[in-house]
Amino acid sequence: MNRLIGPLLAVVLLVLVGVGIWFSASDKLAERNQLHVVGLSGSEKLPFFRDERVIAAFAKHGLNVEVHKAGSRQIATHPDLKTVDFAFPAGTPAATKIKKQFPKTHSYTPFYTPMALASWQPIAKTLVGAGLAEDKGDHYLLDMNKFVESFKNETRWVDLPNNSEYPSSKQIFVKTTDVRKSNSAAMYLSLLAYLINGNAVPTNEADVGKLFPTIQDAFLKQGFVESSSQVPFDDYLVMGMGHTPLLFIYEAQFIGAANPEMGGLPQQATLIYPQPVIFSKHVLIGLTEGGKKLGELLEIDDELKRLANEHGFRNDQRQYFSQHVQRLGLTLAPGFIDVIEAPSYEITENIITRIESAY
């Protein structure tokens, strides 16, 4: 019997080695058969692209996706877009600019996110007490017309009535990213431009002239700002209310950070929605056949759409998105009535160029 054990073990070992070699060869063959696509995207979507589940979902469809970080304005003016397969800015103005450069390309809008203010319960209560915000029960709304007037008057936190929560000597303003590079700041610029222009989207040079110096001050008075949206949001999470009372962000960032795998949100962290609100539509431009395949996949594949929900992005999977938000214990605005559009790319560039010259 002992004489048989040795040969049997040898056979089993050979079989296992053979199976291992077969799986290894199969994996390598699968990798070789995958289409490698390279693109540019804002930092707000990098956690989605780096999710192992997303990578696996792409692989099932024969895609190996490589993403490099760039601000939406940087993407729109990138000199070597011909060297990548796709461009994925946040916001339609940048996408429109790219489409004009490459008119035969295909565009896809797989998801969107409303812009919001990352804040704290004491800050929200202070703004409500001062008549600048409204407590809707499940979310807060900031009256942006009143807020802009407070900014024009150089109101400080300590000046607000009924303020026992945050008696800071700092002037009240919203922290953003660098408007010269980042789409989230450009979204705030679009919102301010609408308000300062008498609740109307600026469409010409005369309208743009009315915006200064208020819109310029809204960015210059912040001091140093980061070029991508993730860094100031990380600072908000770590440094707290004293450092960042109000930060203009993508709603998706807040939802993504609420995931237990990401560490969860700090105590008293909350979202305040601007009223009116502005959406950031994430538009993918497929510059090659590989980029086109990626855009189509993001729009039609239910698994990828649900994974986008889990990273905070909204799409047509409304029920799954709501269920995911509830699982995280978040209460968000269920819908929006007062929604504005961004100015054209040319008008936005005009405003940014003027601000840029003042830095």
Q: What is the mean pLDDT of the chain?
A: 91
> With pLDDT > 90 as the criterion, what percentage of the chain qualifies?
79
37's CB contacts (< 8 A; 6+ apart) are 63, 64, 65, 66, 85, 86, 288, 290, 291, 293, 294
Residue 22 has a pLDDT of 42
On the question of a cis peptide bond just before residue 213, with omega within 30 degrees of 0, the verdict is yes
Tokens 């995911």 sit at which residue?
324
72 and 196 both lie in a single domain: no
Surface-to-core class of residue 254, CB atoms within 10 Å of its CB (0-12 exposed, 13-18 middle, 19+ buried)? buried
Residue 73 has a pLDDT of 84
What is the SS3 assignment for 166? coil
DSSP string across 94-124 = HHHHHHHHSTTSEEEEEEEEEEEEEEEHHHH
- pLDDT bracket for residue 353 (50, 70, 90): very high
Residue 14 has a pLDDT of 53
Residues 265 and 328 sit within 8 Å (Cβ to Cβ): no
Helices (H) and strands (E) in the chain, counts: 16, 10
Q: Could you tell me which residues are beta bridge partners of residue 269?
A: 120
- Give yes or no for residue 91 having a pLDDT over 70: yes
Residue 262 has a pLDDT of 78
Residue 30 has a pLDDT of 43
Q: For strands 86-88 and 277-286, give the pairing.
A: antiparallel
354 and 256 both lie in a single domain: yes
Provide the domain limits for residue 167: 114-279+334-358
The model carries a pTM of 0.88
195 and 258 both lie in a single domain: yes
- 13 assigned to some structural domain: no
Helix or strand (DSSP H, E) at 274: strand 269-275
- pLDDT bracket for residue 9 (50, 70, 90): low
Residue 27 has a pLDDT of 43
The mean per-residue pLDDT over the stretch 61-88 comes to 93
- 24 assigned to some structural domain: no
Count up the domains in the chain and report the number: 2
- 11 assigned to some structural domain: no
- pLDDT bracket for residue 15 (50, 70, 90): very low
Q: In this structure, what CATH number is given to the domain that contains residue 51? A: 3.40.190.10
166 and 184 both lie in a single domain: yes
Residue 206 has a pLDDT of 97
311 and 221 both lie in a single domain: no
Residues 302 and 38 sit within 8 Å (Cβ to Cβ): no
- 274 assigned to some structural domain: yes
169 and 233 both lie in a single domain: yes
The mean per-residue pLDDT over the stretch 325-329 comes to 95
What is the SS3 assignment for 163? coil
131 and 53 both lie in a single domain: no
Tell me the per-residue pLDDT of 98-151, one tens digit each, with 9 for 90 and over.
999 999 999 999 999 999 999 999 999 999 999 999 999 889 999 999 999 999
Tell me the per-residue pLDDT of 16-44, one tens digit each, with 9 for 90 and over.
545 454 444 444 444 567 999 999 998 89
- 354 assigned to some structural domain: yes
124 and 69 both lie in a single domain: no
Task: For residues 16 and 195, give the distance between their C-alpha atoms in angstroms, rounded to a whole number.
Answer: 69
Residue 10 has a pLDDT of 53
106 and 142 both lie in a single domain: no
- pLDDT bracket for residue 7 (50, 70, 90): low
Task: For residues 158 and 164, give the distance between their C-alpha atoms in angstroms, rounded to a whole number.
Answer: 9
Tell me the per-residue pLDDT of 160-201, one tens digit each, with 9 for 90 and over.
998 999 999 999 999 999 999 889 999 999 999 999 999 999
CA angle, residues 342, 233, 134, in degrees to nearest 5: 65
Q: Could you tell me which residues are beta bridge partners of residue 293?
A: none
72 and 167 both lie in a single domain: no
The mean per-residue pLDDT over the stretch 54-73 comes to 95
The mean per-residue pLDDT over the stretch 300-307 comes to 98
Residue 13 has a pLDDT of 56
215 and 351 both lie in a single domain: yes
- Give yes or no for residue 307 having a pLDDT over 90: yes
